[in-house]
Amino acid sequence: MLAKLQYISQGNTADVQLTNIKAALEAGCRWIQLRFKNANEEELNETAQEVKKLCSAFNAILIINDHPQIAKAVDADGVHLGLQDTGIDEARKIIGKEKIIGGTANTLDDVLQRYNEGCSYVGVGPYRFTTTKEKLSPILGLQGYADIMNELSKRNIHIPVYAIGGIVLEDIADLVSIGVYGIAASGIITHHHNKKIFVQQINSLLYEASHHS
């Protein structure tokens, strides 16, 4: 079972990345995606090793954004790949059959492609405008997710769908009610003044709503 909340790390330096990740883990996040776009390979590798130690201490899942080789080097739990990144088959060869591979998607066609490629889950977004990503795909909104979940259900396709992109607490119950499995969050956790209570609120919405649906 994959955790329903994924924290996507933020920070322009290794120190800021590690501070943010540690705070998210201490707040109760049990799935970290290390996303450190402006690091060179050496810096990313060193940071990933430190994050791996942190995640092991908190018994949390660690996946690396974009870099299967680094995921393999630090024995992370998997990778997350954008549509322009390394192909899923190639990543699978590098990190092994047992590992988690997540794929980004924006449209129903993307989700179907990801499913056919054998992704463990899909991160579908953006839900609304977000400053975290520089090149933003078309915004889906609740209706966009509802349409995608509907189509998957019609085709009897089961794959965990994570909503991503500018999601706030008030969105979660609606997303879960239409069949979204979980959410990936970044800035809302990084910048929250009381992360522990906030993460508890997110998790209770994700897990309780799914029990009623």
Secondary structure (DSSP) of 106-135 = SSHHHHHHHHHHT-SEEEE--SS--SS-SS
pLDDT (tens digit, 9 = 90+) per residue, 171-209? Answer: 999 999 999 999 999 999 999 999 999 999 999 999 986
The pLDDT value recorded for residue 194 is 97
The CATH number of domain 5-212, selected from 3.30.70.3450, 1.25.40.340, 3.20.20.70, 3.40.50.720: 3.20.20.70
Burial 7-35 (b: 16+ CB within 10 A, else e): bbbbbeebeebbebbbbbbebbbbbbbbb
Write down the pLDDT at residue 209.
Answer: 60
pLDDT, residue 138, reads 86
d(CA 39, CA 88): 23
Residues of the chain with pLDDT under 70: 132-134, 136, 209-213
Q: Specify whether the CB–CB gap between 54 and 74 falls below 8 A.
A: no
pLDDT of residue 178: 97
Please tell me the predicted confidence (pLDDT) of residue 88.
Answer: 97
